[in-house]
A and B are shown apart, each in its own frame.
Chain A
């Protein structure tokens, strides 16, 4: 270990003492007097894919009622590369209704999320998830998270390879602890007096200093936002075959308000590796972060700071030393955008793929549209796969030519497809969950996005920009789970109804945006955007994107760390 003797962050002690992530979780699950787990256990359950939350809309009321907060849990299901079968989809749907709050949340990392699962339903839910051959382990916590991969099967034959690489890396980097099996899958048995401790060859006793995110991009689409990942792989093709990957290191969203030593960072391309080498590269990169990441200050613990502090040169040397060889030189690539392409597209396999827009990834049934039921119906008769996209949408993949009409009819009937497409802005928009469940949220995101999009849309319509894709991303706090620092228009929550406004990100996720206003409300945001959008409509070049336009026209200076405009 290379940590200086400075004091370790508190969570480090919790991890070390936890007997490989067991803590007192089993006993806590049996405590019927409270819907919560012990404080330290809530740090450990993250490694199991679970976040303890409470309904923040009710906090004050419950306090006055002398009741504890309305606790419930968020469960995140790992879906490497976002690919799941129709049977698995139906299993997720059933669990959402039986044990969660009746909705499914598709995340910006291509995973499923359940919200509102109360404590005594945790074990049955997780057991059922594993029963459908998926899992939740390492979906959160100081470990490698869900491995992303471009889900777009129509673009090239590389999609299958990218998915395979994602699955392989995910397997290799999964923690080995038996705690997960013991607590969730072993039936109602009491925990053994002497827990079975196993080797954790990668993670050791304290796992990583912080989360670690890996994503695999297949050009020309950067939907996985490869430059936002701790470790990115860019698939390079050679005459339609996968030649290997460019390796990208040190990206990361996430900052804290008013702390300039925290900041979002774009990853650096450092070289190239063959397909067979990718898993080992991942292993070594994670191991370097394990050894050198800052364990005394969690706000400074992400891999991006390790790289920024020690330098890229140091890192490439360290990697070469551990691998036994340096990486090959990086190869050229090109990204056109990081959004999804909606509607039917025909794949290289001659099958059809339907990308459905799911606003904020939230599948629910409302009087207006029944998104959850619609997908259930599709899943019931669909013989192919589902692909969760990094833009919180879903692709019904592998539909035969003669199956299209039925699927489309179901989609239309349930409001999953419309005669009139929503505006391009609305289609591109991302938001994190924020309130009422996320403990970190400072402002609304998911619940506010439709309203903000609507107000912007009326202006866009007037300007003739309705079909112009502009990336809009809103998060409730600066952690940036919906990758707001790459958006052309980014809102980062600061307080109720107040955001920091960011502008000028790259349309392909290749350039960070810049903060142009701090702690402003909606009317100020709209007042600032209007003239800029008007100018864009008026003066843009053919095919020029909004973020690029702002830079070119001098209305915005380039943010440091951008990859050029």
Chain B
């Protein structure tokens, strides 16, 4: 089964206009081209008169755009806002929250914040310090500050957009006034973020005025437009779909190799690959059965004529629950039981309840009557799935590797499947196509210094990017020491890529390899136990400049590892709680404590 092929879109310019555009852009350098793309984007967002970018050092008040994001999305939106501001003649500074000094806050006049919420309502690592500052006693009165917050999040978590809400509320409490109301975005953020950006800039233009054109603009680099994107993915052919858990394992994990030949896609170790999945039959058919509607009925609002089944397969998230869906469903569910349940479950309780179920379980437990079109509207759009890339371009740019764990379990008497993981693992064989794009992750990068020691904590499929890290290190001839900590259930069957790690260890590329297999003995043991056992050495590595990376489960593993890290720093460094906090903040500031957790 191939992914629906996309016709290349016809350019909306007439031939002569296209020719003029080509002529105008032909002499531009790469940097100039990049600037021009952001400029055009800003024009599209509503800027009328041409303008130049404000030179740095202008005394006029500027818009500070802060972003905090675990993935690259916040940065992308913030960068687009900066370019649009430039198009409107507004001087703007684009700064990552991780690099932002809280002392600046009281001098700010206009602040645009783009921040995501992570897991069960936590700020991303980059935003931790600023978030703490805003919640703390040292927050000054900010009467002269105008601000606006764009919150990114995932409504399948109960504390949806919590961090964004926190920032919005705290700034208001400190006396600042809004440029624009808080906008909360679910996984589909393109439209709402564009609306918010416009609203912010409309107000900011009035506040900060236009700039005079000046000579010799300082060019700022806008991130290069990728050749493939979420809306125009590259159709990558599956070269290999190999199960890498041993016979008898309780898990099925796949090593996938996809061909990127001809894609022009670039990535670095640490980036993720966005995969446009389709919902497989094993997920869609039980849902249709539970709904009791014929899947072939048309269900598309507006001009489309796609059937319910088609929309469920290609267009809508049909497994993970989210609050908006539950509220909509409770609205049509005659018994009223779901509504009552939602009211009684608050906070973490609802989050847990949602995580234990798929859409189909709610449909079965709370039967209701409605039309197909209405049902489609209740569901949110099918988001791409992101996977940490498991190979380095230094090894080959023509192919890209992923490590995908099949999610499959029994609940409520029925088999349940992960939509993306089961589609990739079970429905994509050699020769099949998968629509992909690169999702860069600037916050998960090998140290630039090849001699810097690297510690990688990657249990389960969290080990994937570390495969890329080590490949990259080897290819670059980096001499720095490398330490990998891996964990899973059973040594005999679940030691992902074991043969490769052993080979690297033998070659000396991997200086140290520690493993923890939780179910091989009576007492559970995990990577954090291995960390604690090696407490002194781990601290020494940190003191010697090591970069520490954590990848994998956000709910339990990451907090456990973080706790172990704090214990180690406290014990070996003889530091109190605050000093440990500072130590970690320092690490984060220098990009030496980076996490890719999900």
Contacts and interface: CB of A to CB of B under 8 A. Distances in A.
B498 A66 contact: yes
B382 interface: no
A30 to B, nearest CB: 12
Interface in A112-139: 118
B243 interface: yes
Nearest to A70: B492
B513 A68 contact: no
A66 B497 contact: yes
A67 B505 contact: no
Interface in A57-80: 58, 61-68, 70
A34 interface: yes
Interface in B476-499: 491-493, 495-499
Taking chain A's interface residues, is the majority helix, strand, or loop, or is none over half, making it mixed?
loop
A291 B247 CA distance: 49
B243 A33 contact: no
A67 B495 contact: yes
A67 B501 contact: no
Taking chain B's interface residues, is the majority helix, strand, or loop, or is none over half, making it mixed?
mixed
A35 interface: yes
Contact of B498 (A61, A67, A118): A67
A70 B491 CA distance: 10
A63 B505 CA distance: 18
Contacts of A63: 499
Contacts of A64: 242
A206 B110 CA distance: 83
Contact of A32 (B243, B245, B491): B491
Interface string B309-349: 00000000000000000000000000000000000000000
Contact of B499 (A32, A67, A118): A67
B492 A66 contact: no
B242 A65 contact: yes
B497 A35 contact: no
Given A33-B505, A67-B498, A68-B502, A62 B246 contact: yes
Contact of B513 (A33, A58, A67): A33
Contacts of A67: 244, 246, 493, 495, 498-499
B498 A68 contact: yes
B371 interface: no
Given A64-B242, A66-B255, A34 B247 contact: no
B54 to A, nearest CB: 53
A64 B246 CA distance: 10
A68 B501 CA distance: 10
Interface in B495-541: 495-502, 505, 513-515
B499 A68 contact: yes
Contact of B245 (A34, A65, A118): A65
A65 B515 CA distance: 18
A337 B497 CA distance: 55
Contact of B243 (A65, A68, A70, A118): A65
A58 B255 contact: no
Which of A33, A61, A64 is packed against the most chain B CB atoms within 10 Å?
Answer: A33
Contacts of B513: 33
Contacts of A66: 242, 244, 255, 496-500
A35 B255 contact: no
Contacts of A35: 491-492
Given A32-B491, A70-B492, A58 B502 contact: no
Contacts of B255: 66
Interface in B135-179: none
Interface residues of B, number: 22
A84 B231 CA distance: 76
B244 A34 contact: no
A111 B374 CA distance: 76
Given A62-B246, A65-B242, A66-B255, A33 B515 contact: yes
Contact of A34 (B246, B497, B502, B514): B502
Contacts of A33: 498, 501-502, 505, 513-515
A10 to B, nearest CB: 19
Contacts of B246: 58, 62, 65, 67, 70
Contacts of A58: 246-247
B244 A61 contact: no
Contact of B515 (A32, A61, A118): A32
Interface in A124-183: none
Contacts of A70: 246, 492
Contacts of B497: 66
Contacts of B247: 58, 61
Contacts of B244: 65-67
Contacts of B505: 33
A35 B514 CA distance: 14
Interface string B241-256: 0111111000000010
B496 to A, nearest CB: 8
A100 to B, nearest CB: 15
A62 B498 CA distance: 10
A70 B244 CA distance: 14
B483 to A, nearest CB: 12
A26 B247 CA distance: 29
Interface in A36-72: 58, 61-68, 70
A32 B498 CA distance: 11
A303 B498 CA distance: 43
A35 B493 CA distance: 12
Nearest to A61: B247
Contacts of A32: 491, 515
A472 B500 CA distance: 45
Contacts of A68: 498-499, 502
Which of B255, B496, B499 is packed against the most chain A CB atoms within 10 Å?
Answer: B499
A35 B246 CA distance: 14
B76 to A, nearest CB: 34
A315 to B, nearest CB: 46
Nearest to A71: B492
A197 B502 CA distance: 33
B529 to A, nearest CB: 12
B468 to A, nearest CB: 15
Contacts of A118: 492
Contacts of B499: 63, 66-68
Contacts of A62: 246
Nearest to A33: B513
A35 B515 CA distance: 12
Contacts of A65: 242-246
Contacts of B495: 67
A265 B502 CA distance: 44
A34 B513 CA distance: 10
Interface in B23-53: none
A74 to B, nearest CB: 17
Nearest to A32: B515
Interface in B235-289: 242-247, 255
A64 B254 CA distance: 11
Nearest to A34: B502
A195 B51 CA distance: 81
A61 B492 CA distance: 13
Nearest to A31: B513
A63 B503 CA distance: 13
A61 B243 CA distance: 10
B317 to A, nearest CB: 32
The 3 closest A-B CB pairs, nearest first, are A33-B513, A66-B499, A65-B244
21 contacts: A32-B515, A33-B501, A33-B514, A35-B491, A35-B492, A58-B246, A58-B247, A61-B247, A64-B242, A65-B243, A65-B245, A65-B246, A66-B255, A66-B496, A66-B497, A66-B498, A67-B495, A68-B498, A68-B499, A70-B492, A118-B492
Given A58-B247, A66-B255, 11 more contacts: A32-B515, A33-B498, A33-B514, A64-B242, A65-B242, A65-B244, A66-B242, A66-B500, A67-B244, A67-B495, A67-B498
Interface of A: 32-35, 58, 61-68, 70, 118
Interface of B: 242-247, 255, 491-493, 495-502, 505, 513-515
